[in-house]
């Protein structure tokens, strides 16, 4: 194994040198022939709209970015797991509870995989779900308001990576665990890992309003569950998870977790478990996890600490879980639009392994097993094998589908996207990526009905693609036209953070609501002042609540006196504007929080603890009218 990794890393280095080291690339940075009329094909004229939305994970920025395709223009950054000073998310009193966890307030996250809600196997434009890898959480973002509405923490999990993919009617959003851990957590010697740690897989039920509730947690053996994908069509009712480190090595994983020639894809029959649980199966155990919900009526989030979770031992549900051996530490686990093929991307391999769902069912029926792992049957490799894609490239990571019988796989080491045919497994086309592509995305590529016009590759290494900005470069995405036989590279565009995955949807399926989403007549915020007549300052011990309003172009009140050093001042600012898109800002000198950006009809709160006597100004941060610079006020701070 050691040998293979060193061969791979040498190949990787030499490829990097070939692809981006020398001057040749300067003359043909597009990688050879550039498609015709490229500029025209990505050009969206001033005032025109893009055809697709792309929701691109922000990786270690913790957020979700919104792009238009084909232009590659960034339209918005939606704060999810990280504090975001632009809008005050995670700083305002109303949104701080969104970042509450059983570990306390965690103002940062590592977001990986967005997935759009589905109805009958089609993306429906209601919500985007996205996982947080570090402090395990799943968020739900509304595609009406483009706001994060809910975050649920995943208990007993660590490295929430194989998440957050949704089943074809959004019955469940599913979270896996990359690190195996004591289950439940306890103080034990790390060397006791093997056989004792577990890898819980969490099935979160989603109701019609989008609210999430953990239905059950499957107590799986302590492997690393890397990625997952729901079945669809005939395989709807199953969920597939790649595993690596079936060796259960706890040290030097780069070597010790790559001993086995094959790891597994775990096939989970969630319908069976759902039934088992509905009939009273499973065991309720202690768990501590936050469930945070944002309420549009009160403009505020609440955080509830949950105490129990239902756990299911997979061995107690006959026929619930099987392992399919899959070569070379598979990373991506992708199911084609028909639901028949399950692709395992063995990242230390050159070939792709494709399993057949119908063969899997037969093999289960005929008990074609090769032993078991911790009581879970291992299916015979040949029995489930549909085919192998040979010489795809080096280091396959992820696969998407165009709905026309083709699959597209990214190869990290050989830095390319490879198109191949489902069923014949022949390679049809390959295009270089600049450089070292991780994930790729085709709008609707996770659904029964991909909209296979464009493909976006999200590349890990940027090198020379843009004007230099120091050694720290934004990652780079590339847009390919895949409507013809050959992929055509159309565009480079920089992305923010480290995009791992993206979800795309045609713009007309999204009911984005560009009108007033907070109406004054529906404002139930506890501290709202709905007219200037309602503004006031209320003292309660050393807490001072200022009910403030803002409208072009003044604050009310704009002069505050009677505040003392040692007070804690709450500015509750209500925006009285009638237009839907005129926010006002609020910033206070020396406040150790962010500003606020308050949308029309909305109330937001920021705190300030004055440290010094004097007369201190505040002002509006958003250029809202010709008299924006006049939009200001003073707070007089007196001694204790
Ligand atoms: S992982 Cu990043 S390249 Cu988190 Cu989907 Cu494969
Ligand atoms: Cu209000 Cu500037």
Look at ligand 2, atom 1, and give the residue with the nearest C-alpha. Answer: 584
Q: Is residue 460 in contact with ligand 1, taking CB distance under 6 Å?
A: no
Q: What is the mean pLDDT of residues 514-540?
A: 94
Instruction: Report yes or no: 324 and 264 within 8 Å, Cβ to Cβ.
Output: yes
- 2-509 and 520-638 share one CATH topology? no
Look at ligand 1, atom 2, and give the residue with the nearest C-alpha. Answer: 500
Q: Supply the CATH classification number for the domain 520-638.
A: 2.60.40.420
User: Which of 439, 440, 456 best tests ligand 1's pocket when mutated (most atoms within 8 Å of CB)?
Assistant: 439
* Residue 52: per-residue pLDDT: 98
Residues 6+ apart with CB under 8 A from 605: 92, 93, 94, 527, 570, 571, 572, 573, 596
Q: How far is the CA of 591 from the centre of ligand 2 (A)?
A: 19
d(CA 372, CA 321): 11
Q: What is the mean pLDDT of residues 437-452?
A: 97
213 closest CA partner among 124, 140, 273, 268: 140
Look at ligand 1, atom 5, and give the residue with the nearest C-alpha. Answer: 500
| Terminal-residue alpha carbon distance, the chain | 70
The number of the ligand nearest the C-alpha atom of 620 reads 2
Q: Which residues of 36-69 are buried (b: 16+ CB within 10 A; e: fewer)?
A: eebeeebeeeeeeebbbbbbbbbbbbbbbbbbbb
At residue 144 the predicted structure's pLDDT band, cuts being 50, 70 and 90, is very high
pLDDT of 33 over the 70 cut: no
pLDDT of 27 over the 70 cut: no
d(CA 408, CA 499): 18
Q: How far is the CA of 86 from the centre of ligand 1 (A)?
A: 27
* Residue 326: per-residue pLDDT: 96
Out of 181-190, 248-257, 333-342, 615-624, which region has the weakest mean confidence (pLDDT)? Answer: 248-257
Q: Is residue 441 in contact with ligand 1, taking CB distance under 6 Å?
A: no
Backbone torsion region of residue 423, taken as left when φ is above 0, otherwise alpha when ψ lies between -120 and 50, otherwise beta: left
Q: How far is the CA of 346 from the centre of ligand 1 (A)?
A: 13
pLDDT of 19 over the 70 cut: no
Half-sphere exposure of 320 (CA within 13 A, CB side): 21
DSSP, collapsed to helix, strand or coil, labels residue 372 as strand
Instruction: Report yes or no: 204 and 309 within 8 Å, Cβ to Cβ.
Output: no
For 481, phi and psi rounded to 5 degrees?
-85, 125
Strands 502-506 and 536-540 turn out to be: unpaired
Would you tell me how many other CB atoms lie within 10 Å of the CB of residue 369? 15
At residue 256 the predicted structure's pLDDT band, cuts being 50, 70 and 90, is confident
The encoded tokens of residue 579 equal 């237009």
Extended beta strands in 424-508, E state: 427-432, 437-441, 454-459, 476-481, 488-494, 502-506
* Residue 17: per-residue pLDDT: 39
Extended beta strands in 63-211, E state: 64-69, 73-78, 100-101, 104-105, 111-119, 122-132, 137-142, 148-153, 165-166, 172-175, 201-206
**Can you give the residue ranges of every domain in the chain?**
2-509, 520-638
* Residue 14: per-residue pLDDT: 41
Would you tell me how many other CB atoms lie within 10 Å of the CB of residue 263? 27
Kindly report, residue by residue over 76-107, the tens digit of the pLDDT.
Answer: 999 999 999 999 999 999 999 999 999 999 99
More confident: 45 or 8: 45
* Residue 475: per-residue pLDDT: 95
pLDDT of 137 over the 90 cut: yes
Kindly report, residue by residue over 110-122, the tens digit of the pLDDT.
Answer: 999 999 999 999 9
Q: Is residue 475 in contact with ligand 1, taking CB distance under 6 Å?
A: no
Would you tell me how many other CB atoms lie within 10 Å of the CB of residue 362? 13
Instruction: Report yes or no: 247 and 224 within 8 Å, Cβ to Cβ.
Output: no
Kindly report, residue by residue over 258-311, the tens digit of the pLDDT.
Answer: 888 999 999 999 999 999 999 999 999 999 999 999 999 999 999 999 999 999
At residue 392 the predicted structure's pLDDT band, cuts being 50, 70 and 90, is confident
Q: How far is the CA of 121 from the centre of ligand 1 (A)?
A: 23
Check the CA dihedral 75-81-84-87 and report its sign.
positive
Kindly report, residue by residue over 479-495, the tens digit of the pLDDT.
Answer: 999 999 999 999 999 99
ipTM for the complex?
A: 0.95
Q: Which atom of ligand 1 is nearest to the CA of 161?
A: 4
Extended beta strands in 270-329, E state: 283-295, 300-312, 321-327
In angstroms and rounded to an integer, the radius of gyration of the C-alpha atoms of the chain is 26
184 closest CA partner among 55, 354, 307, 1: 307
Task: Output the average pLDDT for the chain.
Answer: 93
For 399, phi and psi rounded to 5 degrees?
-130, 140
Kindly report, residue by residue over 41-88, the tens digit of the pLDDT.
Answer: 999 999 999 999 999 999 999 999 999 999 999 999 999 999 999 999
* Residue 255: per-residue pLDDT: 84
Q: What is the mean pLDDT of residues 160-164?
A: 96
Q: Is residue 623 in contact with ligand 2, taking CB distance under 6 Å?
A: yes
pLDDT of 28 over the 80 cut: no
Q: Is residue 438 in contact with ligand 1, taking CB distance under 6 Å?
A: yes
Look at ligand 1, atom 1, and give the residue with the nearest C-alpha. Answer: 500
DSSP, collapsed to helix, strand or coil, labels residue 42 as helix
- Percent of the chain exceeding pLDDT 90 equals 90
Given the candidates 3.30.9.10, 2.40.30.20, 3.40.640.10, 2.130.10.10, the CATH classification of the domain at 2-509 is: 2.130.10.10
Instruction: Report yes or no: 55 and 114 within 8 Å, Cβ to Cβ.
Output: yes
* Residue 252: per-residue pLDDT: 85
Q: What is the mean pLDDT of residues 573-583?
A: 95
How big, in percent rounded to 5, are the helix, strand and coil portions of the chain?
10, 45, 45
């Amino acid at each position: 194994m050691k040998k293979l990794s060193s061969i791979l890393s040498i190949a990787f280095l030499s490829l990097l040198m070939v692809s981006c080291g020398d001057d040749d690339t300067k003359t043909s940075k597009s990688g050879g022939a550039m498609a015709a009329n490229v500029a025209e094909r990505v050009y969206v004229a001033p005032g025109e709209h893009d055809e697709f939305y792309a929701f691109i994970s922000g990786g270690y920025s913790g957020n979700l970015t919104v792009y238009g395709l084909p232009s590659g223009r960034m339209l918005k950054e939606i704060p999810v797991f990280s504090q975001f000073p632009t809008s005050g998310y995670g700083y305002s009193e109303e949104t701080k509870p969104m970042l509450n966890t059983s570990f306390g307030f965690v103002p940062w996250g590592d977001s990986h995989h967005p997935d759009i809600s589905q109805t009958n196997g089609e993306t429906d434009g209601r919500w985007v779900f996205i996982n947080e890898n570090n402090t395990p959480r799943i968020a739900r973002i509304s595609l009406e308001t483009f706001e994060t509405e809910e975050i649920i923490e995943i208990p007993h999990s660590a490295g929430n990576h194989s998440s957050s993919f949704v089943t074809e009617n959004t019955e469940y959003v599913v979270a896996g665990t990359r690190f195996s851990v004591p289950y439940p957590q306890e103080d034990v010697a790390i060397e006791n890992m093997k056989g004792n740690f577990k890898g819980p897989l969490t099935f979160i039920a989603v109701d019609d309003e989008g609210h999430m509730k953990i239905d059950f947690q499957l107590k799986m053996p302590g492997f690393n569950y890397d990625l997952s994908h729901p079945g669809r069509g005939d395989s709807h009712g199953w969920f597939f998870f790649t595993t690596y480190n079936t060796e259960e090595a706890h040290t030097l994983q780069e070597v010790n977790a790559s001993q086995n020639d094959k790891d597994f894809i775990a096939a989970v029959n969630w319908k069976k478990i759902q039934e088992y649980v509905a009939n009273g199966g499973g065991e309720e155990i202690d768990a501590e996890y936050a469930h945070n919900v944002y309420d549009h009526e009160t403009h505020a989030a609440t955080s509830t600490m949950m105490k129990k979770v239902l756990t299911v031992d997979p061995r107690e549900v006959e026929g619930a879980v099987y392992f399919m051996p899959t070569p070379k530490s598979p990373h991506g686990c992708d199911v084609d639009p028909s639901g028949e093929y399950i692709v395992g991307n063995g990242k230390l391999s050159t070939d792709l392994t494709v399993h057949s769902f119908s063969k899997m069912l037969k093999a289960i029926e005929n008990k074609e097993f090769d032993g078991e792992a911790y009581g879970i049957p291992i299916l015979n490799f040949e029995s489930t094998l549909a085919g192998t894609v040979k010489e795809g490239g080096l280091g396959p990571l992820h696969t998407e589908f165009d709905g026309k019988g083709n699959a597209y796989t990214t190869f990290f080491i050989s830095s390319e996207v490879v198109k191949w045919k489902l069923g014949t497994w022949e390679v049809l086309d390959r295009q270089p990526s600049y450089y070292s592509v991780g994930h790729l995305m085709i709008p609707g590529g996770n659904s029964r009905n991909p909209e296979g016009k464009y493909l976006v590759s999200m590349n890990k290494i940027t090198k020379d693609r843009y004007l230099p900005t120091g050694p720290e470069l934004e990652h780079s995405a590339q847009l390919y036209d895949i409507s013809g036989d050959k992929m055509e590279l159309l565009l480079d565009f920089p992305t923010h953070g480290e995009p791992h995955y993206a979800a795309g949807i045609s713009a007309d399926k999204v009911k984005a609501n560009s009108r007033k989403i907070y109406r004054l007549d529906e404002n139930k915020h506890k501290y709202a002042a709905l007219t200037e007549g309602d503004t006031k300052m209320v003292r309660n011990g050393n807490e001072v609540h200022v009910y403030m309003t803002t409208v072009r172009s003044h604050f009310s009140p704009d002069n505050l006196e009677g505040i003392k050093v040692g007070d804690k001042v709450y500015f509750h600012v209500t925006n009285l504007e009638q237009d839907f898109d005129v926010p006002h800002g609020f910033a206070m000198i020396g406040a150790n929080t962010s500003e606020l950006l308050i949308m029309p009809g909305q109330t937001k709160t920021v705190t300030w603890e004055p440290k010094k006597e004097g007369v201190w100004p505040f002002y509006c941060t958003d250029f809202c009218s010709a008299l924006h610079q006049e939009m200001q006020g003073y707070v007089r701070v007196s001694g204790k």
